[in-house]
């Protein structure tokens, strides 16, 4: 049973894209092709960092300062208060590791509503299904392997947000989230436990129309700190892991060529606000310094870890700056009905080496909007490489107009 458990743990950890979310493993001194030390940030429940929709996903995973849409709950909830539509909801589907298996996916249901001109509420549910894992007991004396059940690891998060206008162009928002992870579901062993956490988001957004060549263009800015919450444990509080608290800041500019044609560009910078792993023994002058760094990392509380994460990389300022990822995206729209998107995402080779392009498209009718995104990895294999993501949204203003509402609203 012990070997069986380790096999389930290892596979679940791989599917979660987490290096040490389950087992307390020291950071190894692994070199990439350039000779740099590989020392990525480590968190539990990394599925919270997967962009769930095809709009931001089609633009290289940007969303801090783009126009408000159904999926702003994930990127920057404060954008809802700046939306022109009364409300809407969306359902997104993202396959995962589709080249290897066909039963791992992320489903995201999200919506928002504006009860007044200045306020908005939002809510979402994301469910990450890691498929089925056939469990086997150690071979018997004759070498026969016995099936020992099926594990069905999964994670989900449910949240709600409130946002309001601070002025004509500025808005602020907060969100509260419950997070649940059971990567040992189906494994009967008292040594493991389910991970549970509460998280919060704080966000701000700015959008202002500007007149250029007698057309109304738009500039935007956004900042969000998401998943501020407690550490979690998978082994009955024997060890604890950080959840992926993230800092996102971005800007956008949408240029109107004429009444119908618009081109938008947006860029985001992201940094996980979790302490940097203590690294390998070679980074320290003595065993005492190494053991002290390891102890501080393991015992650091989550809130203290946010502040510590701003300057704790073993390699100093140079390594700290490599923990910032950036993405840039473009969107061309015609009459706000047909959209074509593209983007690029970059992460340091020492911190995970995610580098990929994305393309996407969408069309918006009075009632619904359909979007698709496709990711093309240019570095190491990405679990979403060559995967099609889909999002289907419904506009509340369009539904009201269809049934004869006297106050149709326009989706931005």
Q: Would you list the domain boundaries of the chain?
A: 2-402
In sequence order, what are the residues at sequence separation of 6 or more whose Cβ sits closer than 8 angstroms to the Cβ of residue 306? 228, 245, 273, 274
Task: Kindly list the distances between the CA atom of residue 272 and the CA atoms of 66, 86, 119, 215, in Å, as whole numbers in the listed order.
Answer: 21, 33, 29, 38
Our CA dihedral for 61, 64, 67, 68, rounded to 10 degrees, sits at 100
pLDDT for residue 103: 80
Q: What pTM does this model have? A: 0.86
DSSP-derived pairing of the beta strands 338-346 and 355-364: antiparallel
Which residue in the block uniquely carries the two structure tokens 């602020």?
172
Tokens for 203?
């966000």
In sequence order, what are the residues at sequence separation of 6 or more whose Cβ sits closer than 8 angstroms to the Cβ of residue 90? 53, 69, 70, 71, 108, 109, 110, 111, 369, 391, 392, 393, 394
Task: Tell me which CATH code domain 2-402 carries.
Answer: 2.40.160.40
Residue in 340, 336, 341, 339 with CA at minimum distance from that of residue 398: 336
Distance CA 39, CA 188 (A): 34
Distance CA 264, CA 249 (A): 17
Our CA dihedral for 195, 198, 202, 203, rounded to 10 degrees, sits at 60
pLDDT for residue 25: 35
- Which three-class secondary structure state does DSSP give residue 390? strand
Which residue in the block uniquely carries the two structure tokens 């890691």?
130
> 298-321 burial string, b = 16+ CB within 10 Å, else e?
eebebeebbebbeebbbbeeebbe
Q: What is the largest CA-CA distance in the chain?
A: 83
- Convert 298-340 into a string of H (helix), E (strand) and C (coil): HHCCHHHHHHHCCCCCCCCHHHHHCCEEEEEEEEEEECCCEEE
For each of the chain's 412 residues, which pLDDT tens digit applies? 444 444 444 444 444 443 333 333 333 444 444 445 788 888 999 899 999 999 999 999 999 999 999 999 999 999 999 999 999 999 999 998 777 777 889 999 999 999 999 999 999 999 999 887 776 666 655 655 555 667 788 999 999 999 999 999 999 999 999 999 998 776 666 778 899 999 999 999 999 999 998 899 999 999 999 999 999 998 888 888 999 999 999 999 999 999 999 999 999 999 999 998 876 666 677 888 888 888 888 888 999 999 999 998 888 899 899 999 999 999 999 998 999 999 999 999 899 889 999 999 999 988 889 999 999 999 866 777 888 899 999 998 766 666 665 454 444 4
Tokens for 71?
């999926």
pLDDT for residue 166: 97
Q: State CA 261 to chain mean position distance.
A: 30
Element (H, E) at 111: strand 105-113
> 88-98 burial string, b = 16+ CB within 10 Å, else e?
bbbbbbbbbbb
């Amino acid at each position: 049973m012990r070997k069986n458990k380790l096999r389930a743990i290892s596979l679940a950890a791989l599917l979660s894209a987490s290096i040490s979310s389950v087992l307390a493993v020291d950071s190894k001194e692994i070199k990439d092709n350039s000779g740099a030390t590989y020392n990525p940030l480590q968190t539990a429940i990394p599925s919270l960092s997967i962009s769930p929709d095809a709009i931001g996903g089609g633009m290289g995973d940007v969303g801090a300062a783009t126009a408000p849409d159904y999926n702003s709950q994930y990127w920057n909830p404060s954008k809802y208060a700046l939306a022109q539509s009364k409300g809407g909801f969306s359902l997104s589907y993202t396959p995962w590791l589709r080249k290897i298996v066909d039963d791992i996916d992320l489903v995201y249901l999200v919506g928002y509503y504006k009860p007044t001109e200045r306020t908005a509420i939002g809510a979402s549910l994301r469910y990450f299904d890691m498929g089925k894992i056939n469990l086997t007991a150690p071979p018997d004396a004759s070498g026969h392997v016995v099936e020992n059940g099926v594990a069905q690891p999964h994670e989900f998060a449910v949240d709600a947000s409130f946002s309001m206008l601070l002025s004509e162009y500025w808005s602020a928002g907060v969100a509260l989230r419950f997070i649940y992870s059971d990567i040992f579901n189906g494994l009967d062993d008292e040594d493991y436990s389910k991970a549970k956490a509460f998280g919060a988001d704080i966000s701000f957004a700015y959008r202002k129309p500007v007149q250029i060549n007698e057309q109304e263009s738009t500039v935007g800015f956004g900042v969000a700190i998401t998943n501020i919450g407690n550490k979690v444990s998978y082994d009955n509080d024997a060890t604890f892991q950080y959840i992926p608290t993230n800092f996102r800041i971005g800007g956008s500019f949408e240029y109107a060529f004429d009444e119908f044609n618009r081109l938008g560009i947006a860029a985001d910078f992201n940094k996980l606000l979790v302490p940097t792993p203590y690294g390998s023994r070679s980074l320290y002058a003595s065993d005492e310094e190494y053991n002290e760094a390891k102890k501080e990392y393991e015992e650091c509380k989550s809130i203290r870890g946010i502040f510590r994460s701003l300057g704790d990389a073993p390699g100093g300022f140079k390594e700290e700056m490599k923990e910032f990822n950036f993405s840039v995206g473009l969107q061309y729209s015609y009459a706000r009905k047909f959209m074509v998107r593209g983007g690029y995402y970059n992460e340091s080779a020492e911190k995970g080496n995610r580098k990929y392009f994305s393309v996407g498209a969408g069309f918006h009718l009075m009632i619904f909007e359909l979007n698709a995104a496709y990711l093309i990895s240019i570095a190491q294999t990405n679990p979403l490489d060559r995967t099609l993501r889909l999002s289907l949204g419904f506009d509340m203003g369009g539904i009201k107009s269809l049934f004869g509402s006297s106050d149709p609203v326009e989706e931005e």
